[in-house]
Structure 1
Amino acid sequence: MRTITLQLIAVCAALTLVAQPTGSAKAKRTPIASPAPTTILARVGPEVVTYEDIETTYLRNANRPHKSLATMPRDTVLEFLRLYTNYRLKVLDAIARGYDKDSAVLSEVAANRRLVAETFLYEKRIVEPNVEQALQRRAYELKPAVIVVTIPQGENVDTTAAYAKAMACLRLVQRGDSFEEVARDSSDDKETGRNGGVLPYITALSGVIRPLEDAAYALEPGQVYPHPVRARFVYVLVKLLDKRPRQLVRVRHILLVPQQGEDSLAVERRADSLLHVLQGAPLERFAEAARQLSSDKSSAAGGGILGNGAFYCRSLGFESDNRRLVPQFEDVLFSLRDGQIGIARTVYG
């Protein structure tokens, strides 16, 4: 962090030097007052073009609603005024030629207006609400469990048997049977079924099918979605096991594996001794120990840091490549506070 701070200070200092005007520049610079909105800047035939017309049109086209035209460079304003007056001249010429009453022109204008309106409504009614919803959901991570029932595919295939099976499983859960046991016994997805239907943590836009995401975010921990969720190929029963704020962390590790003649107990004793030595020590001491002792050579050279320093969260893995840590490691990691050290026992060491 010290290196980053020094770099930021250097950059800020450089920017200050560049932006600082000379004494002569200060003397020449005077505040610019905005003209009155009704100030006439040009006349185009019978029309007058006011400062308010130009400012409103320019800021709308430039997507700068909170700026003032008076703060824009003089050449920019004059060029836009030239373009605007030419545009108004063309409009007046078109009216003089009777284009405003031409049915073909009117039809084309109506089509363009409809296209603009549809695009605007699509953004306002569909895109923006969904983006806002995704941002709100992305603040949390959920751990769902599922029971999957496969839907037969093909033309004129009867899917009632699949739906009946999904409803039968749901009734078992609703009457008090263990969701995890029903998943083990009845889920058509054997991989998740063996684990009681438990999935890794998810968040918005994390790769799960949208109907499952919607159902999970509608629940509180311990609740089961009240009906089977229909997706393209499956019915899914959903139970929410956990919901927590999404945390982003960076992590270093030291991998200890059995040396020649060692058993797992000897490795644990080495880990305990190392933990005792490093607990409360400066970060650089942990990094140096990783360089000297870690069996993970890919991270040892960097002081044990994983993911090349990228942030990690339960639902997305490392931001750099979405790799996931093994659950035993992840559970210990998220039980720690900033700067704390713990021991995770995994299949790797």
Structure 2
Amino acid sequence: MDFNFNEEQGLFKDAIDKFVAKQYGFEQRRKHQAEPEGFSRAIWAQFADQGFLALPFDAAYGGLGYGAVETMIVMEAMGRGLVVEPYFASVVLCGSALSAGGDTAQLEALVPAIAGGEAVFAFAHAERQSRYRLSDVALRATRKGESYLLSGEKTGVLNGNAADRVIVSARTSGERRDAQGISLFVVDAQSAGLRRRSYRTQDGLMAADLLFDDVTVSEADLVGALDQGLAIVERVSDCAIAALAAESAGIMQATLDLTVDYLKQRNQFGGPIGRFQALQHRAAEMLIELEQTRSMACYAALMLDEPDLVERRKALSAVKAQIGKAGRIVGQLAIQLHGGIGVTEEYAVGHYFRRLSMIETSFGDSAFHLQRVADAGGFVSAELA
């Protein structure tokens, strides 16, 4: 596999890196977080003006027609800046759901709103009992004439507090854990019967629990075929893992940079502590984990187009397991090398570690994905081992 960027991708990487570096110093981030919605609408509009929000969508619907590699470039830059704007929730999660299952009318109506920054979307799938099982959906969609009534609850909906529209999974037939019988609907966040309980997550982002009490949606709001929504949810999960791998690489790079800089500046015992070989070894361990994560992020982006479903899922599970392990190692070593300052609110490295910890539990933790790899026969076949 060729992990080198072409000329156009290199120019794009320079553009997003410069944008995030300019807009996302640590103190600037704190100001964005303090906004009522937990992010800056002004920065969101600038993301739209730069074309970042239109990146993965088909040009026929107002997008730029780029793919997973370009999304990886954006997510890595956002990881370095610990960006709080809802790119992951709106563009990656909901964008991949619409691209996978939206009809022409939906794409024409909704994609320009996302790409232009006019609307923020949220993807509501997880429920309290579901853990990481994608087919575990209890929220019900009951047919009533030409409409459906949604009743139930979704938890931990990233940026659900500020969403203008929500793509929600609901059970239209079958039992709670059945693979068949799941459908997706686009819901206006101001719909009667929809309530939100908003809160800040451990990594400083915003989320909400959404309570649906006979919320009315029409057949036109159905994304994909009735009862066939699980395949779309699985596609969203695949895209999410690839994006989170890239974000993790950006976070680890920033964490390593902060740590090495601290080792050079912190003086103790007559000189900078970075001169001690034991601490140099710890920094080298962080670099190794970073490079493995960056390679796996590239691999994940390329494997999103793998037509063999089994191989794609196995590869992405291996990626998620690796970035979870690497995130713990890099984060823990960074805190250890910084000492007490590493866990203060006023210093960035602890915030990077929090985000890595949240990524570990998003869309399946390391243990869950290691089990999936094992159940699929292992990442390397017995003949090659």
Pick the TM interval, shorter chain: under 0.3
Determine which structure has greater relative contact order: mean sequence separation of CA pairs < 8 Å that are 6+ residues apart, divided by chain length: 2
Larger of the two Rg values belongs to structure: 1
Q: Higher strand fraction: Structure 1 or Structure 2?
A: 2
- The two structures have a TM-score, normalised by structure 2, of 0.23
